[in-house]
Amino acid sequence: MGSVVSYFGHLCGNETKKEEERHLRANDRPFNLSYNYANNAIKTSKYNFLTFLPLNLFEQFRRLANAYFLFLFFLQLIPQVSSLSWFTTAVPLALVLSITAIKDASEDMNRHKSDNQVNNRKVDVLIDGELRNEKWMNVQVGDIIKLENNQFVTADLLLLSSSEPLNLVYVETAELDGETNLKVKQALTVTGEMGDSIEELAGFTGEVRCEPPNNRLDKFKGTLTDDSQSYSLDNDKVLLRGCTLRNTEWCFGLVIFGGPDTKLMQNCGKTTFKRTSIDHLMNVLVLCIFGFLVFMCSVLAIGNGIWEVREGSVFTVFLPREPGADAALSSFLSFWSYVIVLNTVVPISLYVSVEIIRLGNSFYIDWDRKMYYPKNDTPAQARTTTLNEELGQIKYIFSDKTGTLTQNIMTFNKCSINGKGYGELYDFSGQRVEITEKTEKVDFSWNQLADPKFNFHDHSLVETVKEGNPEAQDFFRLLALCHTVMSEEKKEGELYYQAQSPDEGALVTAARNFGFVFRSRTPETITVFEMGRKVTYELLAVLDFNNVRKRMSVIVRSPQGRMTLFCKGADTIIYERLHPSCSKLMQVTTKHLNEYAGDGLRTLVLAYKDLDETYMEKWRKRHHEASTVMEGREERLDELYEEIEKDLMLLGATAVEDKLQDGVPQTIEQLAKADIKIWVLTGDKQETAENIGYSCNMLREEMDEVFIVAANTAEEVKEELQNARRKMCPGGAEEPAVIRARAGLFWLERTATVLDEKVDGEYALIINGHSLAFALEKNLQMELLRTACMCQTVICCRVTPLQKAQVVELVKKYKQAITLAIGDGANDVSMIKAAHIGVGISGQEGMQAVLSSDFSFAQFRYLQRLLLVHGRWSYLRMCKFLRYFFYKNFTFTFVHFWYAFFCGFSAQTVYDEWFITIYNLVYTALPVLGMSLFDQDVNDRWSFQYPQLYAPGQLNLYFSKKAFVRCMMHSCYSSLILFFIPWAAMHDTVRDDGKDIADYQSFALLAQTCLLIVVSTQLCLDTHYWTAVNQFFVWGSLAAYFAVTFTIYSNGMFLIFTSAFPFIGTARNSLNQPNVWLTIFLTSLLCTLPVVAFRFIVIQLRPTINDKVRYKVRKEALPAPTPRRPPRRRISTRRSAYAFSHAKGYGDLVTSSRFLLKRPLKSQLALFSQTDSPLAQNEPQHYRTIIEEKEESRRSTSS
């Protein structure tokens, strides 16, 4: 449709040139409108009132079958050709088009509602020197808008000024990346000075030149020109649409991109129409059926020509030919007549039924109470109703980590203090007790400043702290002092922390609850309440964290004059700097760390050092000298840090849990048993992703090897991938085994399938984004794919949204397997749209992924029910439906083919016209729908008990080209029985009273009755799970057939509509004869017995997994729900390298004298820095003392 729109746009001269650079001027609408930039209105709907009918019909007739039936309808309007009335095609076609149009209209109306809701939101816009409240849709590029706390960001804005110190704003990016931690953005100083002065803002005429609209969420390049001065712009100066302003009273921004040009909408990309593999197969089969139909019609047309030449002249006496008519013309006309008669090989009701089945199975997902999350009142939702059966064929799952596998919530879980572990619970026999929601929690009511949301279960730690244990108090004192957290108090006792990362917030909160409450800070001091006593420490220095140091230290002086360095960091880093006297304590602490790592916790080691006043003075002077040299500054500073951070005394270790969503390890285990491979694609750093891999059992200690690819050049990446592959498969070929074939409609699509290679042992692959960028290049793609597919687990770290989609596309292209992507943020949208099935996690992390997904629910654990139960049942039902549908329709049609040899190839129908019209719509529609909506081989509990039942769907065993050919052969046999047995039985036979009943009408009635009973019996054989509805549909349809037959063959109908109902009295005269019923019985028996015998032999000799489990179901009781197992204790030497930040810390900010320039720090919730920034800084942190800061500010004042 897009190509058609662009074609008309080209005709009208509206084709727009691709934008290469964006140029805009603040407060100058005429200038900006001259560039024809998009305004801020968004449109996700496809139709409007005028275009709905033509566009929808155009889309529907693009489907091959619909176009075919339209052609057939016109063919039936030609009297010389038509052997059936026009309504036999017109009624079903109108029904199909109407149902589809109503569904499309309903979906598009929902899109219109969603668009209107967003477009009609209000925002303050600066127009003609005053703030006006305007709708979002009326905002233009170049406008200056005002945002207030908790408002959504209207468009992509250049931040101009804010209410916060240093022109900072805090934004929540949950809609974009699924993370609930806050990010910091900062305006340029030159624009920040305008503050909230409307006059200055209205007079601002700065010009911005920047990159054109794109989907890169983490990059922005541009320049601002104001008063002939140019200023560089980057991503930290830009607020993106989809963010929410937090803890910032107000801010002003300049609109750079609006509506469809915003990075949020650009990231959504074009919504592609997803079709299942069965849809693609059906298109190919329908094309084959058309070819087969042409072949049958050609055979019968040739037969008609031969018959006209040999036998036709005999009939011309009483059926004279029209003038000019001869055998050739008769043959030509009979070809088209047979196209009409045999059209039921491609029944139009097939597509109606498929849509109804998919819709029904979608409702099952929506209604499933076991996929409902009561905490957020979030049910599962099938947002797309056309992909259900593909859920039963998934081979690869691509999952995001943050917010998908994890809750993005950090909790202080355990700790080791002076060699003693805390956080575990044991019973009287010394066995470890699993902690659940019902476990008694520690009572922190003695601490008025405690966080009520904090939970801890080991009472002994509170007692140790209360008793005044010096090591325990120093432990929590360190946590309360050694950080860059900022605090503020809305009301007395109501503290809110904003932390550099959620881990750091969790540790400061733990210290708060155990009596060491971080209360406030200034650039020179930190105020802490220690067991209810206010203590103010002088902050002498912050030696901040970065990716090289992997530790953080603060130097403080207590009111008593004690000068102490407190340090926390990765165990390997801290252990190198400990005093030799700590060796025994280090061994015990290491044992605890191994246990914590085995539980998948993120660990830190804490240490301290008392400093001498004289030494500190000397060190400070040397530091001042090092910080002022021009060459080798960083190296000299690093030496000073190393010098002071040695001979530390070990205090203990902390263990923070990056909380997994409930049931994640069990879900991954179940999916692995179903032979589904899970790849994690995350923007997190390697250590974090690796840690989560161990937590959720994707990575295991017993694996043969975990390969880590972290090279910096294409050659190194290739070498590492090849080395890994050769280790896993030493005797494997250097070149991959690739099967090249053709597929798709008309076999125009070329496919290349890389075959799986056998590997002994279990391996995992971890690759970072930098290496992945090289590996995704054309010459390395195949190497990456081969190596990754040999591994049980693949984790890609630091990946961009585009790389996520590229990985999915790579697997789709070369493995020809069905893929599923699951995520929760806007950075997952491209991956969700690239995969065959997209699943969005809905909840607190934002809704952008959900809006682009095909299915959504609140928790990752529901994925196993979606696939192993709903997906498998949907696939099973759809395949059964198609096999049965093709069987009953081919059987119906082949009888016409055999009859042609007995009616002079005249295109006369075997059955009554009314039977032909309502055979698919009434007589056989409901029973097959009943089977396709309710059937199940085993119930949901057995499906979970045996995940291996999922395998046939992945191998496409239930419906394929082979299965279709078997259907045709079965139909051919049944049609032969259904035609020749009744024909032989009726030939020259007489009634009980001696009258002849071998007429056409009696034969037609017998043939159609036999057909209906045989296909109903076949349906009963195919049904595994009987319900009252199935019974009602089967018996009701047979009853309806006899009721309708006796009605339309009655005298009354003949008298009212003589020409329409010619079969007067046929039913009552034929069906009262014993030999007719004997024929029906014999025909049914001959059609059914071979099927029963064949199935019995196959089950005995080659039973499938389904046969085995169903046999077990009959023998055994229903399995109990899987009991909740306490997590198994693992001992591991592998630990997260650092549990805090992925970027440089806030040391400079918290010690800056400009930090509190504007006003005291106001209410701010959890400020977490952009933990997933790919631009992690690797240089050492510059240390600046408070005194130096004051001296510098005095120098700048005096100058």
- Please enumerate in sequence order all residues whose Cβ is within 8 A of that of 1080, keeping only pairs 6 or more positions apart, or say none: 1006, 1009, 1010, 1013
Do 1163 and 596 contact (CB within 8 A), yes or no? no
Question: Tokens at residue 1086, please?
Answer: 């001959």
- Which of 124, 143, 177, 400 is labelled catalytic? 400
Would you say 401 and 374 are in contact if contact means Cβ atoms under 8 Å apart? no
* Interatomic CA distance for residues 320 and 470, integer angstroms: 119
**Minimal CA–CA distance to 1170: which of 1138, 1136, 1144?**
1144
Distance of CA 639 to the CA centre of its chain: 48
Exposure b/e, 518-557, CB count within 10 A at least 16 = b: bbbbbbbebebbebeeebbbebbbbbbbbbebbbbbbbbb
Calculate the dihedral angle through the C-alpha atoms of 126, 131, 135, 138, rounding to the nearest 10 degrees.
-30
Beta strands in 531-648 (DSSP E): 533-543, 551-557, 563-569, 602-610
Spell out the residues 6+ positions from residue 398 whose beta carbon is closer than 8 angstroms to its own: 679, 680, 681, 804, 807, 808, 811, 819, 820, 821, 822, 831, 835
- Whose tokens are 């002498």? That residue is 540
Residue 345: which of 810, 886, 1112 has the closest Cα? 886
The CA distance from 162 to 251, in Å, is 4
Q: Are 608 and 474 in contact (CB under 8 A)?
A: yes
CA distances (Å), origin 690, targets 707, 1138, 1174: 11, 12, 17
Q: Which residue has the tokens 């922005």?
A: 220
SS3 of 938, please?
coil
φ, ψ of residue 846 to 5 degrees: the values are: 110, 165
Q: Phi and psi dihedrals of 288, rounded to 5?
A: -65, -40
Residue 1167: which residues within 8 A CB-CB, separation 6 or more?
170, 181, 182, 184, 247, 486, 498, 499, 500
Alpha-carbon span 902 to 896, nearest angstrom: 10
Which DSSP state fits 921?
A: I
CA–CA distance, 644 with 619 (Å, rounded to integer): 8
42, 848 in Cβ contact below 8 A? no
At 865, which helix (H) or strand (E)? helix 862-865
CA 873 to chain centre: 20
Q: How far apart are CA 290 and CA 65, in angstroms?
A: 10
Give residue 773's Cα distance to chain centre: 22
Q: Residue 878, SS3?
A: helix
DSSP per residue over 553-585, as a string?
A: EEEEE-TT--EEEEEEE-HHHHHTTB-GGGHHH
- Distance separating alpha carbons of residues 914 and 1049, to the nearest angstrom: 11
**Packing angle of the helix pair 872-900, 349-367 (nearest 10 deg):** 170
- The CA-CA-CA angle for residues 48, 175, 40, to 5°, reads 45
Would residue 400 show up in a list of annotated catalytic residues for this protein?
Answer: yes
The secondary structure of 792-837, three-state, reads: CEEEEECCCHHHHHHHHHHHHHHHCCEEEEEECCHHHHHHHHHCCE
Token look-up 């259900």 returns 388
Could you give the residue numbers annotated as active site?
Answer: 400
